[in-house]
Structure 1
Amino acid sequence: MFLKDNNTINQSFIFYDYETFGLNVSLDKVSQFCSIQTDNNFNFIYNKVILFCYPPLDYLPDPESILITKILPQDTQKNGMNEYFFAKKIYDIFSQRNVCIIGYNNINFDNLITRNIFYRNLLDPYEWSWKNGNFSWDVLNILRAFYIFYPDIMLWRYNSNGSVSFKLSDITYINDIVHTDAHNAYSDVMATISIVKYLYKKNKKFFLFLYRISQKKSIFYFISKNYNKPFFYLSSFFGSINNNFGCVMFLGMHPLYKNVLIIINLSMNFKKIFRLYSRSIHETVSINQLFNCGVQIIYINKSPLFFAYNSMSIKDCDRVNINYLRCQKNFFLLQNNIHLKNWIVSYFSLNKFEEKDDDVDLMLYKNFFHSSDKRLFSFIHNNTPINWTQWFPKFVDTRVEEIFFRLKARNFVHILNFSEIKRWKLHCKYKINAVYIKDYMSKIKYLQLKYRSNKKKIFLLEQIIIYMNNIIYNINHIF
């Protein structure tokens, strides 16, 4: 049904996973990284790489995350490295030629963590995922696609609301796949490789089809053939209760970003979008209102999975909760309504980056790094930190001076001069202030009460308090 020719994979694979000290991809820090490289048949090429990273002075880890991973910051101080060296090692691994960088839910989590790590350490946040013939892929979406088109290929666990659970631990448990220690980066990577091997062996043809259609060229080709047709899209946008799958229509390319598509969910009640259109003559309409009507943007670099309209029968649509007739009706309502489609697309030309926070750690998406600044970054990465002390660069990007200062302070506080030490101390006290510490302790006390009969978790929470007190002491005694 899907492949017209014999496709092969001409890349090796780097499977990877992070364990983190929290879930905020911009502000929380990584505790552990693991990667394993395989050939195109998923046989191991290189031994595993396992790295630990200790957090900086201006950060306290989320206690709940530690209870899940069981990795204390004290462990990372003993066995790990600072984030600068950690980032450079990962950058070297990901900068190989012609590799597919793959994980489990990495598109919406681990890849974003990677971007932020590289951004904070003045490495290009994006090139690793596309340069040198590389691309990034997600096993979670592969599994979701197999469930839609070949549901009998493996066993599935179901949530209480009837939706399929795609938690890695649930997939491995019910299919008797070895997964010795969930939320350990090495164990999660090995389990992910085992799942891929299983799917590849069971239905190689469909697996190779998914590999091909996830490539950027294939995505643009698909849109060129289906720009005026309904088609199916696999995404968490639709929700687990809808099997992360829906029928959509292409509206246009984003007017500001060349690798972003604008689509609309054809399962929605289109009375909403027509009402909004008529109201826009008299009142201002926000982007969020468009999103609430089923409009969505799709990033090509996130390897979205699209499927032709004829790939699903009416019976198939019923099985995955898609109202086939409503989608057809809505498509014909919009197909020739050029004014409405242009009106929707035009709103995104106004959707520029808004600085909602003055924290440079949250400004990754404000802009790409300037080419002249990137040349200065080469000096940073080609010299030892002690050589930075007598170097006073002039950066074009207003973010970079603060990023470089934090990079030095977080990783090499001993090279700071007197004024920089004062600045760093003020920054740390601002981040970890009395109100923050009070809230942090309240959270720990709540968890101590919740898990009072669990000795292992109580021990971890006690160690977090010790770590917090050490951080407070060290901030107050910075030189």
Structure 2
Amino acid sequence: WHPVNRNSFIAWDLSVDPTPLYELSAEEIAQRVFTRTDELPAGTERLPLKEVHINKAPVLAPAKTLTPDQAERWNLSGDTLRKHLGMIKNGENLTSKMHQVFSSREFAKTTDVDAQLYDAFFPAADKQAMETVHQLSDWDLADWPAPFKDPRGEEMLFRYRARNFPDTLDEKERERWEQHRTARLMSTDPAFPGLNFERFARELELAANQVMDDPVKLQWIQDLQLYAESIYPAMDW
């Protein structure tokens, strides 16, 4: 488990040899986990240590759900995965070192309301107000004086309107929404938990390489690429 954030645990990509976890110091591991790829020394690769956030609805499946066809398509070797798992199981305990690695980064409480949904319960009055939100029309909602007591409520309502009823936003609200989209989609922070354009592009490329012989799935990926281009933030230069 993460030494500070009790809602996440630390995972290693078993397709990669875990030897560096034993050979490198905690400081060296931290550098190769938290430094952006383009800022690492030449020839140095980032280590595939990941945080899995249990309060953000991750999709985790048992290993037995991976079929031989899927493993071949994704270029995964069961023998390799089992070998690397055995190295970790039989090697020295990494708990202390991982705690040093992840404790070296101060755990900053997120200020993004999308990630704060499970931080605390909403007051009863706010829950009632949320019910009202779904009963109002789009334009009535635009003029509705949101009565939320919890500070998360106003921003959640704004984003709900922006995502579902963008035509009801005034000029100031549209600018506010565009600034939010740009910050989210163009983030270059390696610790950013969301899916920015850089990560999305890498995942699309990986997915395309895995389904090169399937024209239907390739078309899906191309459609996703077109969608990404359609929501690319307008940049003022």
Normalised by the length of structure 1, the TM-score is 0.25
**Structure with the higher strand share, 1 or 2:** 1
Ranked by relative contact order (alpha carbons within 8 Å, sequence separation 6 or more), the top structure is 2
Normalised by the length of structure 2, the TM-score is 0.48
